[in-house]
Amino acid sequence: MEWADFRSDTVTYPTPAMRSAMAQAEVGDDVFGEDPTVARLEQMAAKRVGMESALFVASGTMGNLAAVLTHCQRGDEIILGHRSHTYLHEAGGVSALGGVHPRTVPNQDDGTIEPQDIVGAIRALDDHFPTTRLIVLENTHNMSGGTPLGVNYVQQVGTLAREHGLRLHIDGARIFNAAVALGRPASELAAPADTITFCLSKGLCAPVGSLLCGSAEFIRLARRTRKQLGGGMRQAGILAAAGIVALETMVDRLGEDHQRARRLAAGLREIPGIQVEHDPPPTNMVYFRLDPLTGMTTQSLIEALASRSIRLTARNPYRMRLVVHYWIDDEAIQQVVEGIAAAMSKP
């Protein structure tokens, strides 16, 4: 059975071109620095985001964790949004494994953090306090509707970080969605940061992997951190080969996903009892709320749509996120809107 899967863009499986590149990849032991395909991917990745160097890691979570553990020591503090992925959805890795203290400040509706909130959270030098070391931004901001953070905003935070002797890391899991939506190169969005992580395994369809990018010296240290995390991979060129195809062929098309997401939102907003958030959706995600008075819950929608071979997932009983990606076509958009409308119209 063919499912239309809207749960995430992480569900994307590799394209035929990726499978063939994987089958033919030249490989070596990457822990010895001998995998030419990984080396090529790392060079391409660094270039795309305008950084000196890059490191291939198993996941976005590992990329962010390796970044934080390399930037910080035990007892250091990072400032990040209260709805950031690193704070909410990375199993507390920075504190569990790094002894790093997360200091949350409010994310605004557009995923930004007010610069004055960042400044207000910076610790004075005092033996009572953790040491503020790093600011973490997320672009696009997942929990804020997949909203891209603009170039000016990121520059402002970069300047603020430098003024206060702090570093800036960007969780750019979907940085290319941001770049395409804003019509700016990813390198411009990354320029104010010291480091950035981006994912190959989401909208870009590669099966596995993310890149942590930064200065040559930072990446040299991060390579050791990755080893400590058990992330030194051997013939990883098999995976990197798909990543190269992803970077070469899957970035420019992300605008198609954004267009379909807008079409999806336009269909959903017509359905009584549904309130689309962040409407029109800025990138590839559509968040919506159900009016509790309709008697429907997200669980009942999930069940109703499963009978139409459509997979959905929920944030809570009244809030849902649908994600558009390469394997979602126009027909799937039409089917999900029709399916949700039908389910909502049942007494």
> What are 176's two structure tokens?
């290319």
Residue among 166 and 322 whose Cβ is closer to ligand TLP: 322
Does residue 171 bind ligand TLP (CB under 6 A)?
Answer: yes
Strands 76-81 and 101-105 turn out to be parallel
173 binds ligand TLP (CB under 6 A): yes
**Helix axes of 237-249 and 16-24: crossing angle, nearest 10 degrees:** 140
Question: What minimum distance in Å lies between the beta carbon of 110 and ligand TLP?
Answer: 15
**20: Cβ–Cβ under 8 A, 6 or more apart, which residues?**
none
Least distance in angstroms from the C-beta of 174 to ligand TLP:
6
Distances (CA, A) of 151 to 23, 157, 175: 39, 10, 12
Shorter beta-carbon distance to ligand TLP: residue 179 or 271: 179
**Prior bond of 10 cis (ω within 30°):** no
Closest distance of CB 22 from ligand TLP, Å: 18
CB of 289 to ligand TLP, least distance (A): 18
- Residues 208-267 touching ligand TLP, rule: CB under 6 A, are 210
Question: What residues are paired with 311 via a beta bridge?
Answer: 5
For ligand TLP, the binding residue among 15, 142, 225, 298 (CB under 6 A) is 142
Per CB under 6 A, 10 contacts ligand TLP: yes
Sequence-distant (6+) residues with CB within 8 A of 134 are 68, 71, 72, 76, 78, 79, 166, 167, 168, 169
85 binds ligand TLP (CB under 6 A): yes
Nearer Cβ to ligand TLP (246/271): 246
Helix, strand, coil distribution of the chain in percent, nearest 5: 45, 20, 35
Tell me which of 18, 46, 60, 83 binds ligand TLP, using CB under 6 A: 60
Q: From the CB of 309, what's the least distance to ligand TLP, in Å?
A: 20
- The answer to whether 141 and 133 have CB atoms below 8 angstroms apart is no
Chain positions contacting ligand TLP, by CB under 6 A: 8, 10, 59-61, 85, 89, 138, 142, 171, 173, 199, 201, 210
